[in-house]
Amino acid sequence: MIDFPPAEFEARLERIQALMTDAGMDAILLCTEAEVRYFSGFRTQFWQSPTRPWYLVLPRVGDPIAIIPEIGAELMRQTWVDDIRTWSSPDPVDDGVSLLVDTLYGFNKVGVPMGEEASLRVPLRDFNTVREKCPAQFVDCSEYIKAVRIVKSEAEIAILRDICAIGSAAFDRAPELFHTGQPLKQAFRDFKIALLQEGAEDVSYLVGAAGQGGYGDVISPPDMTPLETGDVLMLDTGSTLQGYFCDFDRNFAIGHADDEAKQAYETLWNSTEAGLEHARAGNTCADLFEAMHITLGGGSSDVGRYGHGLGIQLTEYPSIAAFDKTPLQAGMVMTLEPSLTISDGKMMVHEENILITEDAPVLLTKRAVPELPVIG
């Protein structure tokens, strides 16, 4: 069995089935990597190939049904899913559509994630055919999926704790890894190797930037520009273990830190402290946002939020944002990610990963030092 014992998946299914019962929903149809994996345990990087569709049907009563290309049958058999229906894919005429229509026969109301953060990882043409051929009513079920996934199990938390520790150990090696004159692209590569050496299984996500006293953009790939004295280097990694992400960054001053950069760093660090104080079950995401926002003294950035959920995706619901009234609950794993505009085109970001409890949150990342560290 990959990653988790069957009891983990039984509990997930039970929770969604209870919500389906309340909503009068007969089945849920899933076709995206995160959702199929969450309910089946089917974990493979093969999703990077866009060619084949994969479906998982969760009936309101009974066990999940996988409708998948034959190439995935052997791996699916290693999960807790017993009902596996396959076809030889790719098939340009009928790429699993008939098999799916047959599977949905008899269901009157079928949920499909259609709302915030959802996508449709099958051709729209195929999905429309399924809708036409099934007499069922298709409705949005994003809220229900969200409600189940948002609280992590002990087993999930254990993995998230491990990958955050791995990320922290790699960042601890910054003084040996990064130095003046090093092209940013090389710094990225060296850091990826360090993450793997520390135990990450994949470095799916590494973005970052460097610039004098701050940086202009936080989602770019690196170029060959060498690190210079006075640069602030920021690296933000979503590395994975058993398909679970950490997502946090660290800032380092190269050789020298100017006062403006030190000040920005301190402001962000304090904003995170405020976040740690207010990240309590019962508070809403909006409350948490407000507490962090005040400490930034009106400085804002274009990131759009100060953190988010974390798990089998780099970012998950909810958002730490003024609009998000989601109550924090024990078992949620979140990032705290305040960002600050220093001056036109120059910003700084800071990020930690935490577990929400009934009491004070538990830091999963090793807390950043309170003053901008100077290395190199």
Residue with tokens 């050789």: 255
283 to 302, contacts with its own copies by CB under 8 A? 302
Residue 23 near its own copies by CB under 8 A: no
Residue 91 near its own copies by CB under 8 A: yes
Residues 6+ apart with CB under 8 A from 75: 42, 44
Contact 232, 257 (CB under 8 A): yes
Beta bridge partners of 109: 137
| Distance of alpha carbon 372 from alpha carbon 376, whole angstroms | 13
Site for its own copies (CB under 8 A): which residue of 14, 108, 189, 371?
Answer: 189
Residue 50 near its own copies by CB under 8 A: yes
Binding region for its own copies (CB under 8 A) out of 16-24, 218-226, 253-261, 264-272: 218-226
Q: What is the dihedral of CA 7, 8, 13, 18, to 10 degrees?
A: 90
| Distance of alpha carbon 310 from alpha carbon 318, whole angstroms | 9
Residue with tokens 């190439």: 71
Closest to its own copies by CB, 202 vs 228, is 202
Residue 321 near its own copies by CB under 8 A: yes
Closest to its own copies by CB, 88 vs 329, is 88
Question: What is the pairing mode between strands 352-355 and 362-363?
Answer: antiparallel
Site for its own copies (CB under 8 A): which residue of 323, 358, 369, 370?
Answer: 323
Residue 74 near its own copies by CB under 8 A: yes
In angstroms, give the least distance from the CB of 263 to its own copies.
22
Site for its own copies (CB under 8 A): which residue of 51, 61, 224, 344?
Answer: 51
How many residues contact its own copies, by CB under 8 A? 77
Binding region for its own copies (CB under 8 A) out of 119-127, 168-176, 284-292, 366-374: 119-127
Residue 2 near its own copies by CB under 8 A: yes
Residues 6+ apart with CB under 8 A from 143: 115
Closest to its own copies by CB, 48 vs 359, is 48
Residue 338 near its own copies by CB under 8 A: no
Contact 185, 233 (CB under 8 A): no
Binding region for its own copies (CB under 8 A) out of 108-116, 165-173, 227-235, 362-370: 108-116
Angle at 201 between CA 319 and CA 2, to 5 degrees: 90
Residue with tokens 């899913």: 81
Closest to its own copies by CB, 61 vs 224, is 224
142 to 171, contacts with its own copies by CB under 8 A? 142
Residue 99 near its own copies by CB under 8 A: no
Token pair recorded at residue 309: 């959920």
With CA atoms as reference, report the closest residue to 375 among 258, 264, 252, 249: 252
Residue 211 near its own copies by CB under 8 A: no
Residues 6+ apart with CB under 8 A from 154: none
Based on its alpha-carbon atoms, the radius of gyration of the chain, rounded to whole angstroms, reads: 22
Contact 269, 296 (CB under 8 A): no
Site for its own copies (CB under 8 A): which residue of 121, 146, 293, 350?
Answer: 121
Q: Provide the mask over 342-361, with x wherever binding to its own copies is found by CB under 8 A and - wherever it is not.
A: ---x----------------
Residue 313 near its own copies by CB under 8 A: yes
Binding region for its own copies (CB under 8 A) out of 197-205, 262-270, 285-293, 350-358: 197-205
Residue 225 near its own copies by CB under 8 A: no
In angstroms, give the least distance from the CB of 371 to its own copies.
27
Residue 319 near its own copies by CB under 8 A: yes
Residues 6+ apart with CB under 8 A from 251: 232, 233, 234, 265, 348, 349, 350, 368, 372, 373
The DSSP H or E segment spanning 285 is helix 285-295
Site for its own copies (CB under 8 A): which residue of 324, 330, 341, 375?
Answer: 324
